[in-house]
Structure 1
């Protein structure tokens, strides 16, 4: 496999599309306006800006919406945003949040009623909420006064705070009149949304850009910038071209683009762990993957080290389960070193010729960047060498979700997926992608994994109240994943952003799904 040829294709495709752009742009940025490609990269454009349905785009959404709590910028601890304080009862069943004095962008006060309203919407799958499955353990939501929210659980859950970081607060007075089952695609999200954040929504030009204006009444003080603009790009190359032209001051970039910025003092490269494991997900409802030997053959057939070296420039770590953090990976797990002959032998033993007969296998993904295209091409070629014929199909995120989350899916449309799921900063995140009780429509276990030992290991980790003991349960999760292969885990890659050196006090973290995290947009500024 000559990966250098594949890698060069990245540069060629980037050169071909680097000048691509959209036809309508906001005014050129000045010292009072920050423009960025906030949604460039994995996950892409969120469409109607509904945080209940968002699986990405939180870097942008949290500029005008806010959660009760979020992660700090290093993704190491949970801190308050709309909660001035929070605590957990000794039995881990009661979470109490004291709320700050804040106002919605229309001037009405933010209260515990809004927090309860948001929580109830997030718990209701009819609202389109992607958090509903994570909140099944909530017994009640209480509001003893306007500045106190109390959440009671049926059993301890280690993932509660992580889930709360993704729950951006919504105004009851603006949304209560909309039927819950009509909420997810209502035009309110893209025409007149109101939050409590430092910037207020002013305009959306379809598929072009969103413009926000400073909120002079923000409780943290009037923001330093007058406007923040999020521009949408067809691909990272177009965003990079806009960045170099001075049209934007920030964008996500792929690892293969980083070297072009290093040494250039007009830009700063931000690097960090993605906390996302990329994997080939076997649709367990497809008969072709029933034999474990076939799933193992896929692992042995792909030269992950070569792909990481040639396409990622070394900026990734091979993953042999959902985790790569030392404390979560037990000793002795199978490393699945590249061995195409072993892959062929396993396929022969499993009767692959009779199981599949050389038929093409649809490999569905929402990763559409030049880097991802070349990664898929490399994997396709490697699998072909052992007799597995995959045909990649890249679609936008909404299309992908409509296919894989369908409660009655067409198996032929996604026998295999190339996707990513958070493996941190809270290790519990992968539960929704693998636990049998999260199979759609209950949750996003899109591969329809039904592995009793894996369910038991995940449940034990989630219900363990002692953080010191929790890691051992996640090691059990890793062991089962490594042995039974619900996914063919590939790698955890670094992620990168590039910012203009003129940006001051700008915080961006390569967080899963774009965050959210403590970024303090009210402090961002641009020097002349």
Structure 2
């Protein structure tokens, strides 16, 4: 009754010149499941060790350059523009004028510090090997950075798009080896993006607050929240209940949103090739005939139709983009009889026989469980006994990226994914012998000379007219030597509430980063 009386009194006072009582507005807030499903990386805050989650991390950290939302070209972010020398060895970046969230100025020293830190494998950085061609980083003034390479690298700018720039003044005093386990990332990080880190409630959510002084303009909403969910189904339930306004969804759930007027379904290619990794540090898969048998044993078309609803393309190398796939590849059509023959020729009974083989994955969704079960059944029919094991992403990374001599029997086979675009060099870190862990992503310890040579040739190609042919050369070697059993490139889905305006989400590999401009996101 008292609330109603105050409201009436306030209304009566309008136009009288007397003070009125104005009810405080609650902060305008967007909440989402930004780390749900592929492209997410639950509860990771350190971009140096992230293999996903960039959709969220890039709301408060920013790179020098970034892919546009369509993933068709790179554009400046913290670099307002950049130039490349004709020999592709020198890159000059002219920086924007910006401040860190704690008020300190952003300068070229921060860029130099970040690149050198990311190159240092002691920091735990998964970018170290990918930045191995960086010879020097020069800072002639506060707004200019000059990066010199030891040799041309066609993927360099794309690599830089995942190097989120960090504050030298906040991190330089920490020993690099302590950064991977530092609590700074989840308690007091400072970035340059449109939102500022406010708090992390353990295992529940992260809250960001708008940076009113952001160079791209004051964000339209006051608060951005990333909710954590154990699985996509829980996120979908929260979406339907109105608790969040966005989440990644599985294909089965996506179908149910197509006719729901309250939501918009976003669908697009994942740019990620799913594969079965075959650890070359165990004896099981060193014979090419065994690797061929695995390809022939899996009915990829049946899995795509039944479990992906047709929304995937079979991959006979690391690529499916037409300009990167040459004619004449072996299609590895489903042929269990041929698979059995290959295993017999290789002497599989003596190599392994019916002993169980762990098939490790970080994919924990119901769809992934069905895919793994189908693969398990198909391989069993030809005499390969695999046992799926699902772990969370930190456990998976801790297992496969371990330095020295890991327990190879813990991951003789993996079911995983790695980006195959928009830059075709994206799979180089997973297959080139120069990219072995802990510095790179070559977790299956592939050291095939012909394959590495094909990658190096494509990466060093400076003639744009010859690039597609160079990457086709990589595809040919992958198809012939089978470092992985490549499976498919699937579509991905996000669902957004119609209450959101100017919201951008792209099914990008690793979650991006890409130019989503969260400062323009709004909610009714």
Pick the TM interval, shorter chain. Answer: over 0.9
Is structure 2 residue 450 aligned with structure 1 residue 450? no
For the structure 1 residues 72 and 30, does the alpha-carbon distance in structure 2 shift closer, same or farther, using more than 3 Å as the test? farther
| 8 Å Cα contact 1:72-1:517 kept in structure 2 | yes
How many residue pairs are counted as aligned between the two chains?
Answer: 499
Deviations 1:239-282 (A, max 9, x none): 00000000000000111211110111100000111000000010
Please give the secondary structure, in 2, of the residue aligned with 1:218: coil
* Cα distance per residue 1:472-514 (max 9 Å; x no partner): 1111111111011000000000011000011000000000000
Contact preservation (8 Å) 1:105, 1:195: yes
User: What is the distance in 2 between the residues matched to 1:310 and 1:79?
Assistant: 39
Which residue of structure 2 aligns with residue 424 of structure 1? 421
Q: Among 509, 512, 526, which residue is 2:509 paired with?
A: 512
Query: Could you tell me which residue of structure 2 aligns to residue 8 of structure 1?
Result: none
Tell me the alpha carbon deviations over residues 3-50 of structure 1, each in whole angstroms, 9 at most, x when there is no partner.
xxxxxxxxxxxxxxxxxxxxxxxxxx9781000000000254343401
Given candidates 475, 478, 484, the residue that maps to 2:475 is 478
Instruction: Please give the secondary structure, in 1, of the residue aligned with 2:146.
Output: strand
TM-score by length of 1: 0.93
The TM-score, its normalising length taken from structure 2, stands at: 0.94
Gaps of 5+ in 1: 1-28
In 1, distance between residues paired with 2:496 and 2:335? 41
1:266 and 1:500 in contact (8 A); partners too: yes
| Partner Cα separation in structure 1 for residue 500 and residue 144 of structure 2 | 37
Write out aligned runs for 1:321-470 (5 A).
Answer: 321-407=317-403, 408-470=405-467
3-state SS of paired residue (1:108)? coil
Structure 1: distance between partners of 2:510 and 2:132: 22
Cα deviations by residue, 1:307-338 (Å, 9 ceiling, x for unpaired): 00000001100000000001111100000000
**How far, CA to CA, are the matches of 1:129 and 1:468 in structure 2?**
34
Q: 1:42 aligns with which of 25, 38, 42?
A: 38
* Gapped regions of structure 2 (runs ≥ 5): 1-24
Q: CA deviation at 1:300?
A: 0.4
Matched, 1:222 2:213: no
Whether the aligned pair in 1 keeps the contact of 2:458 and 2:467 (CA below 8 Å) is: yes
Determine if contact 1:44/1:397 at 8 Å carries over to the other structure: no
Tell me by how many angstroms 1:203 deviates: 0.7
Give the one of 83, 86, 95 matched to 1:99. Answer: 95
Shift of 1:471: 1.2
SS in 2 for 1:273: strand
Partner of 2:252: 256
In 2, are the aligned partners of 1:48 and 1:185 still within 8 Å (CA)? no
Q: How does 1:7-406 map to 2 (within 5 A)?
A: 32-42=28-38, 44-406=40-402
Task: Give 1:415 shift.
Answer: 0.8
Question: 1:442: how far off?
Answer: 3.6
Shift of 1:409: 1.4
SS of 1:354's partner is helix
CA distance in 1, matches of 2:44, 2:377: 37
Q: Alignment partner of 2:193: what SS?
A: coil
Question: 1:302–1:382: 8 Å Cα contact kept in structure 2?
Answer: yes
Contact 1:301 1:343 (8 Å CA) reproduced: yes
Aligned partner of residue 486 in structure 2, secondary structure: strand
How many Å separate the matches in 2 of 1:451 and 1:30?
59
Q: SS at 2:414's partner residue? A: strand
CA distance in 1, matches of 2:27, 2:498: 13
Aligned counterparts of 1:193 and 1:490: Cα–Cα separation in 2: 39
Aligned counterparts of 1:33 and 1:226: Cα–Cα separation in 2: 6
After TM superposition, which residue ranges in structure 1, 4 or more long, deviate above 6 angstroms? none
1:448 partner SS: coil
SS of the equivalent of 2:91 reads: strand
What is the distance in 1 between the residues matched to 2:253 and 2:216? Answer: 36
1:182 Cα deviation from its structure 2 partner: 0.3
**Offset of 1:437 from its aligned partner?**
1.4
Q: SS of 2:422's equivalent?
A: coil
- Give 3-state SS (helix, strand or coil) of 2:276's partner: strand
Shift of 1:79: 0.6
Higher mean displacement: 405-414 or 44-53: 44-53
